Amino acid sequence: MKFAAYSLVAALVASTTAAFTTTGYFARPSTVLDARRPFISGNWKLNPQTRQEAVDLAKEISDAVTSDTPDADVALFVPYVFLETAMEAVDGKVQIGAEGVCPEMAGAFTGAVSASMLKSVGVSWALAGHSERRVIFGESDEYINGQCLKLIELGMSVMLCIGESELEYNQNLAGAVCAVQLKKGLAGISKDDMSRVVIAYEPVWAIGTGKVATPEIAESVHKKVRDILADIFDQETAEATRILYGGSVTPESVDELMAQPDIDGALVGGASLDAAKFGRIINFESV
């Protein structure tokens, strides 16, 4: 399987990084050997509805991480109000991140949450650029870039989401759309900073629709994304950057997706609200 080739990736990158540092269950130094370590993540969106439901779900998901689980990073991106609750519930076995962040640090921004606020409660990861934030809330590439820059500035990490609409995909524009979103979203981020960045490719037409890009289609776009990263930075950085697939990932689809050479993990929506389903995704099998 592709994950056995970590040493090849390490050989391509000359310096060590702090790509993903957790505490408790997965506590260990993080180096370039982790650069393409599998990363399974869940995005709870506007769910669940109560604190107790969040506690129960987080605990059940963390229980799915055992000594038999594939050697992978596992994270949950949860609503702001459940961040500390979820962190307590998972007891260090799962990383907890925020679903977004405001690029401003302080001031008259009612309802906003800053990166420094997140960091102060122990959060080190946040999403940026999810299609629902782009489409429903009107976040621009410039705003998303501001989020990425602020998180990096504070020593935190970001999962930058990119992806095309169904119309754009049908017009063979997936690569072009991803190139624009990547180049604008990563503006001002250095090669060294990329150790704190994960890319999540989410075709908009597959989010919450039940449609899943075939493993071959997903792999083809992931390869394009890696080529774009090589154009922005260099081949070494492109090879070291983890690119996840998101879009109606299920227990039935995860194994074939994870077998693709350029797919390094998954950003899971609906299935992350079902502990049994997400547990199976965390415990993906080689095919």
The whole-chain average pLDDT of the chain stands at 89
- Mind listing the domains of the chain with CATH numbers? 34-282 (3.20.20.70)
Give the mean model confidence (pLDDT) for residues 130-152.
Answer: 97
> Looking at 132, 202, 219, 236, which residue is catalytic?
202
> Looking at 99, 130, 132, 222, which residue is catalytic?
130
d(CA 57, CA 127): 20
Q: Check if 130 is active-site.
A: yes
pLDDT for 3: 47
> pLDDT-based confidence at 2, cuts 50/70/90?
low
Give the mean model confidence (pLDDT) for residues 256-267.
Answer: 97
Strand partners, 78: 98
What are the tens digits of pLDDT across the range 3-34?
A: 444 333 333 333 333 333 333 333 333 333 34
pLDDT for 286: 77
Q: Check if 202 is active-site.
A: yes
d(CA 112, CA 286): 41
- 3-state SS track over 198-235: EEEECCHHHCCCCCCCCHHHHHHHHHHHHHHHHHHCCH
What are the tens digits of pLDDT across the range 78-116?
A: 999 999 999 999 999 999 999 999 999 999 999 999 999
* DSSP classification of residue 41: E
Quote the pTM value.
0.89
d(CA 214, CA 95): 28
pLDDT for 18: 39
